[in-house]
Structure 1
Amino acid sequence: MSTVAAEQAGGGFHEEWEAGPTVARMVLGAQLRRLREAGGHSLEDAEAVLRRPREWISRLELGRAVLRLREVADLCAAYGATDRAALATLLGLARQANAPRWWAAFRDVVPPWYEPYLELEQSASLIRAYEAQVVPDLLQTEAYTRALIEEHRPAGDAERLAALRAVRRRILDRPAPARLWAVIEEAALRRAPGGRAVAFAQFEHLLDVCDLPHVTLQVLPLAAAEAPPVAGGSFTLLRPPQPELPDVVYVERLNGAVYPSGPDAVPYWHTMNRLVLAAAPAAATQSILWRILRGL
């Protein structure tokens, strides 16, 4: 859903909710843009209020800049938004946007390009992942994670990153868990970082995960005839719980990541839908896992 369509469908203000700084910035920017447009104000008007360049205002409305509380109040006054509850919501979002990151304790092993993803993942209501090489992060056991990371990082980093990944996995265990829908290449499941014992424990975990009502796991067989080509490799689609926010695409590269948006994001949605259709149905996943496990 595009930002405009989502805003038209959502309407109004939301009650104050706990969000990570990245998501809070996105919601705050979308709400401020709605107020500006509803009042017939231009970017130049906002520019005059904040005494900042138009490019910065555009970044603000996309959730890529942070406002001080005084600036939020000034914009609301300029836009004629006098509703106290609405202003309180916006000020609450501004506070959350400036709050410490939940992953601050892991800052030593978190690169800047990964920071937005960590925030967006924790706030997502739906996560759709395609994984071509390894078990998706949120479905890994700690032993599998550690063995995987130790292939290319020092042991100390592996321990820290494994601990971070364990914290991330809690979104599947909380009272209102995120929904995860993952499509995994069969070749990825046949990898065994850490050896047979680690692989067996990982498969046991995946078999258990298949029984969770909020997790859908599909396997893309080696001989899947209808599988679409995926030039960029693995990718993840994140859906925020707030209807005024667009879904987010995350594509990790060797030394960085990209977050396609707008028209650039559309091919990923089409590809994910085609992957779901090409993969074996979720009802067959456990039998496929047992077949692969017996061959390890």
Structure 2
Amino acid sequence: MTAEPRLIEVDSGVAERGPTALRIAVGGQLRKLREACGITPQAAGEHIRGSAAKISRLELGRTGYKERDIVDLLTLYGVTDPEQRTKLVDLALKANEPGWWHRYNDLLPQWFETYLGLEGAARTIRTFEGQLVPGLLQTADYASAVVAVGYENSEATRRRERGQRQGIDVQAARRVELRTKRQEILNVRGGPTLWAVLDEAVLHRPVGGTKVQRAQIEHLVEMSTKPHVTIQVLSYRSGGCAAAGSSFTMLRFAERELSDLVYLEQLTTALYLDSREDLHLYREVMDRLAVQAETPEDSRELMAAAAARL
């Protein structure tokens, strides 16, 4: 007698990382169940009145879930235990809920909403920043200064020219709140690890003034002591680097079926690269930067010295 397929427990911390992470986890469950039964994506797709492509989207967490589809797939995969079925259906429905960033959607372009979901779902975040402290490591005051500079080139300028000051400060405050809220993924159990390489210029650019800059660097020193955060400084003495003039972020996911992504943010849009050639190039560049940069321990000393000089 064949044992009934059992669902793998989904870590409770996954839900705290947002609906994208939860969709990926649910999709991974569905894929494991399907493969355990030896059922092809085409057969599974036909069973739910769809196609193999639909099954692929469901298993990769790239689309929301319909309760009927989940119920039908569980039946096809031989999951009859009521408790198991209810558990996965509940998780799938929860994965359909808006992310925490939904209340800021009046401030967010669609391309950045997409990134926030992927960032929370990632297992590893590797980033190189040549100009500013990465958003996940910014203090509130530093973020406020960055937002203020960026806001000068936005709708706020046009409103100010029309004498419409009301509401500008509120929106700026919400943008800072969004940045600090985003950082909570670093404190969630099972959340992503962060590996950041910063050009030394980041430590010397007085964003927000001396006091703000000093506090920001001290925050970097503190964050660098956390076990899931690695910070390296690409010092001036290292000379030129392969990523000169460019900042980028690489996301890696726990599910082996999900390709790594390279995220390149621009002024009015962003690029998501996932071709084999692009990923190979950016991995090589990231690895070379990590070797070229100061070690995490030496970087911590360099950052502490920079803060002390301010």
TM range (shorter): 0.7 to 0.9
> Pick from 135, 139, 142: which aligns with 1:141?
139
The CA distance in 1 between the partners of 2:100 and 2:117, in whole Å, is 8
Give the match for residue 65 of structure 2: 67
Give the match for residue 42 of structure 1: 40
Task: Map Cα deviations across residues 65-122 of structure 1 (whole Å, 9 max, x no partner).
Answer: 1221121110122233445555344323312211231122211112211223323333
The CA distance in 2 between the partners of 1:231 and 1:31, in whole Å, is 41
Give the match for residue 218 of structure 1: 232
Give the match for residue 77 of structure 1: 75
Give the match for residue 56 of structure 1: 54
Task: Say if 1:134 and 1:188, in contact at 8 Å, map to a contact too.
Answer: yes
Moved more, 69-78 or 114-123: 114-123
> Pick from 259, 263, 274: which aligns with 1:261?
274
Task: Map Cα deviations across residues 199-224 of structure 1 (whole Å, 9 max, x no partner).
Answer: 12212222333333432211011342
Give the direction of change, closer, same or farther, for the CA distance of 1:160–1:293 in structure 2 (3 Å limit).
Answer: same
Task: Please show how residues 98-177 of structure 1 align to structure 2 within 5 Å.
Answer: 98-153=96-151, 154=156, 155-156=168-169, 157-173=171-187
1:200 aligns with 2:194: no
The CA distance in 2 between the partners of 1:142 and 1:293, in whole Å, is 17
Identical pairs, percent: 38
**Rg (Cα) greater in structure:** 2
Give the direction of change, closer, same or farther, for the CA distance of 1:77–1:12 in structure 2 (3 Å limit).
Answer: closer
Give the match for residue 5 of structure 1: none
Higher relative contact order (CA 8 A, sep 6+): 1
Task: Say if 1:30 and 1:244, in contact at 8 Å, map to a contact too.
Answer: no
Give the match for residue 94 of structure 1: 92
- 1:125: Cα distance to partner? 4.7
| Aligned-partner SS, 1:283 | helix
Q: TM-score, normalised by structure 1?
A: 0.81
The CA distance in 2 between the partners of 1:166 and 1:96, in whole Å, is 24
- 1:163: Cα distance to partner? 0.5
| Aligned-partner SS, 1:129 | strand
Q: Which runs of no fewer than 5 residues in structure 1 stay unpaired?
A: 1-10
- 1:277: Cα distance to partner? 0.9
Task: Give the paired residue count.
Answer: 284
The CA distance in 1 between the partners of 2:63 and 2:123, in whole Å, is 24
| Aligned-partner SS, 1:193 | coil
> Pick from 278, 285, 291: which aligns with 2:299?
285
The CA distance in 2 between the partners of 1:112 and 1:150, in whole Å, is 21
Amino acid at match of 2:205: R
Q: TM-score, normalised by structure 2?
A: 0.78
Give the match for residue 235 of structure 1: 248
Instruction: Report the RMSD for the aligned CA atoms in angstroms.
Output: 3.0
Give the match for residue 15 of structure 1: 9
Moved more, 135-144 or 258-267: 258-267
